[in-house]
Structure 1
Amino acid sequence: MDKSFSGVATYEYPDGRVYSGDFVNGMPHGKGQMTFPNQDIYDGEWIDGKMHGRGEYRRFNIEKDKYVERYIGEFVAGIIQGNGRIQFDNRMVYEGQWQNGKRTGIGTLWSSPCEYIHGLWKFNEIIRGVQHFENGDWYEGTFKNSKFHGFGRYFYSSGALFDGEFENGKPTKGVSITPDGVITTIGES
């Protein structure tokens, strides 16, 4: 591509990428679509040859012979950054804030219409929030390695409650209250 070209065109790069859209000074700039050699596709806004602004990125899996991720949202200098939504081929969906291509900030991850986690994320891990389960149970508190960890409350669909500390996903110290009001202390000696 001639570095002085500005306008609308389709160009195939030597590495196999194909870009169709706006160019400024020989670089993608404005709106356009890039198809990558691995069949990934980005369609959206560009600045100085980088994905920048709003766009849609679809990731192709050669072994599965299908697109396995679809992200719609914001990019900064070629990296997912800002607000966006990603849908995976297993139907899981995350919608929320991103930083440096990672779920970081406030967001929600749905694994089904009735099962989801909403809260504060850091580097793709939930650290504080609320998790709802299909059976009607829900947990509110802190997480570590995607498991209940630290202080939290687990509300059972039966009306029972555990309020206290969790470690590695299990209640370790606190108070359990049954639906009929029976209180049991757990982890105290």
Structure 2
Amino acid sequence: MFGFGLLFTIGGLVSCFNGISIMNSAQSQLLNAAANAGLNSGDDSGIIYLVGGIIAIILGVMLIVASRNDNINNKHYNNSESNRHSDDKIRTSSTESVEYSYKQMTDNLIKTFGLFKNGIYEEQDYNNKKKIWIDKLKKVDYSDYESEFLNEILPIIKDGGLSSDDLKCIKYIISGSYENDRYQKQQENFQQQQEIHRKEHEEFIKQTKATTIIGFNKIKEISITGFYRLKKVSIKTFNNAFNFIKNNKKIVLIVLSLIILLTVGILIKGNKYSIKNGQGNYTSANGDIYVGEYKDDEKNGQGTYTYVNGNIYVGEFKDDNINGQGTLTTLNGDVYVGEFKDDEKNGQGTYTDANGDIYIGEFKDDKMNGQGTCTYANGDIYVGEWRDSIISGQGKCTYSNGAIYVGEFKNNLKNGQGTYTYANGNIYIGEWKDDKMNGQGTLTMPDGTKNVGEFKDDTYIGN
């Protein structure tokens, strides 16, 4: 719209200058024309150029102002929508993960502190893992679990595994204050940007109005005289045209028929070429941008799709959807390379998240499903079954400390029958529940000593 407005304005100015020039050159002839009660052709052309230019300038200014309003409104809308979608996505993701992460997070810290107390971890190693653990808390909303969470880590606090500063930081995160402060800061920044855009818009409107008023006053002086001359020319032209049509009816009918046929042909041809084929680009109503190949007016072939939330997909399209091999990079740094079907991850693929965890295996319905291998940033490696992006089924986990577990998993935890070989040589074969030895089992020490019988929460009870 801005381009059309600028084109109309420039064209109008050129037309006005041409009209004034023609009228000046015909000034001497106007004196004679006044006595004859008519106008010469040069004077008529000057008036037409002038009035047409005035109309074009008015339309151009109106289009430029309208374009400015649309751009500012769209910018405000896209910013607010992007922030809202981003916040909704973060909060939704956090809420879905609390169900299994709450217990897992506390168990991980308790195990890490236990390894530190037993001398397996040095103090520096423990402090580093504790720092990583605290950082991970920021990704989950614990506001509804604050008291339960603190009770779970109470033994570590009593044993001195967490400093007062650590405890303050943990309370600040799980109480929801960290998330609320971060969200509040985003809102303040957004409101500041809105205020800046509003002031810019008001200044632009003010300047445009002032410029338009000056231009209209200049043009008004010329247009008053031109209007009356144009009126006389129009009446004369209309009368001549009416007399011509009256005297040449057959010729007029033939010409009108040809014009109608030509117009219909142009419309049909234009509709044919309006269907996109080959290279092209498209911007959706919500701000998503596609650049790539088309076939029969649909996205087909190689292309790049940039989402309004910052995610970018590069790869194959078919039947207007993401289908085939491609790469999806999210705004937070996660990268997926592999197969897609109907805009979702389906088939073999590799997923690398921002934390450095790497999953290689099967996907279905946009989630990890089937056989897959995940190499975690801390050095742990899991090979086995996945269901809806959760470790469930038969698998093998090799831990960074040298321990190995082979057996059943459920909800990312050891559950069912399994064998755990400790780094110190101990071997447990038996039942597991919620990541701990629970039920019947046999624990064999390196010296051959065995504990056979009932276990509960990793503790041997007896026969």
TM over 0.5: yes
Report the counterpart of residue 37 of structure 1 in structure 2. Answer: 331
Q: Contact between 2:378 and 2:400, CA under 8 Å: does it hold in 1?
A: no
Report the counterpart of residue 320 of structure 2 in structure 1. Answer: 26
1:22 deviates by 0.4
Aligned-partner SS, 1:143: strand
How big is each residue's C-alpha offset from its partner over 1:3-35, in whole Å with a ceiling of 9 and x where there is no partner? Answer: 711001122122211111101123210000010
Task: Give structure 1 stretches of 5+ with no counterpart.
Answer: 62-67, 175-189
1:116 deviates by 0.9
2:438 is matched by which residue type in structure 1?
H
Instruction: Please give the alpha-carbon distance, in whole angstroms, between the structure 1 residues aligned to 2:459 and 2:430.
Output: 13
Residue 382 (structure 2) aligned to one of 91, 94, 97: 94
Instruction: Please give the alpha-carbon distance, in whole angstroms, between the structure 1 residues aligned to 2:301 and 2:316.
Output: 6
Q: TM-score, normalised by structure 2?
A: 0.35
How big is each residue's C-alpha offset from its partner over 1:98-133, in whole Å with a ceiling of 9 and x where there is no partner? Answer: 111111111011113741111011111111200001
Any residues of structure 2 matched to 1:117-128 within 5 Å, and which?
Answer: 117-127=405-415, 128=417
2:426 is matched by which residue type in structure 1?
D
1:129 is matched by which residue type in structure 2?
G
Q: Contact between 2:359 and 2:374, CA under 8 Å: does it hold in 1?
A: yes
Aligned-partner SS, 1:71: strand
Aligned-partner SS, 1:172: strand
1:97 is matched by which residue type in structure 2?
E
Greater percentage in strand? 1
Residue 53 (structure 1) aligned to one of 335, 343, 347: 347
2:403 is matched by which residue type in structure 1?
E
Q: Contact between 2:326 and 2:340, CA under 8 Å: does it hold in 1?
A: yes
Instruction: Answer with 1 or 2: which has the greater Rg.
Output: 2
Instruction: Please give the alpha-carbon distance, in whole angstroms, between the structure 2 residues aligned to 1:132 and 1:173.
Output: 21
Q: Contact between 2:451 and 2:462, CA under 8 Å: does it hold in 1?
A: no
Q: Are 2:436 and 1:142 aligned? A: no
Report the counterpart of residue 462 of structure 2 in structure 1. Answer: 173
Any residues of structure 2 matched to 1:56-135 within 5 Å, and which?
Answer: 56-61=350-355, 68-112=356-400, 114-127=402-415, 128-135=417-424
Instruction: Please give the alpha-carbon distance, in whole angstroms, between the structure 2 residues aligned to 1:24 and 1:50.
Output: 13
Q: Which has the higher contact order (CA 8 A, sep 6+)?
A: 1
Instruction: Please give the alpha-carbon distance, in whole angstroms, between the structure 1 residues aligned to 2:320 and 2:456.
Output: 56
1:139 is matched by which residue type in structure 2?
Y
Greater percentage in helix? 2
Instruction: Please give the alpha-carbon distance, in whole angstroms, between the structure 2 residues aligned to 1:24 and 1:58.
Output: 25
Instruction: Please give the alpha-carbon distance, in whole angstroms, between the structure 2 residues aligned to 1:147 and 1:124.
Output: 12
Instruction: Please give the alpha-carbon distance, in whole angstroms, between the structure 2 residues aligned to 1:113 and 1:38.
Output: 30
How big is each residue's C-alpha offset from its partner over 1:128-167, in whole Å with a ceiling of 9 and x where there is no partner? Answer: 2000011111000111221111100001011100110001
Instruction: Please give the alpha-carbon distance, in whole angstroms, between the structure 2 residues aligned to 1:106 and 1:5.
Output: 41
Task: Give structure 2 stretches of 5+ with no counterpart.
Answer: 1-289
Aligned-partner SS, 1:81: strand
2:441 is matched by which residue type in structure 1?
G
Aligned-partner SS, 2:399: strand
How big is each residue's C-alpha offset from its partner over 1:73-117, in whole Å with a ceiling of 9 and x where there is no partner? Answer: 000010100000111110001110011111111101111374111
1:36 is matched by which residue type in structure 2?
T
Kindly report structure 1 stretches of 4+ aligned residues shifted beyond 3 Å.
Answer: none
Report the counterpart of residue 177 of structure 1 in structure 2. Answer: none
The sequence identity of aligned pairs, in percent, is: 30
Aligned-partner SS, 2:372: strand
Instruction: Please give the alpha-carbon distance, in whole angstroms, between the structure 2 residues aligned to 1:5 and 1:132.
Output: 53
1:133 is matched by which residue type in structure 2?
Y
Q: Give aligned pairs, total.
A: 168
Q: Are 2:445 and 1:156 aligned? A: yes
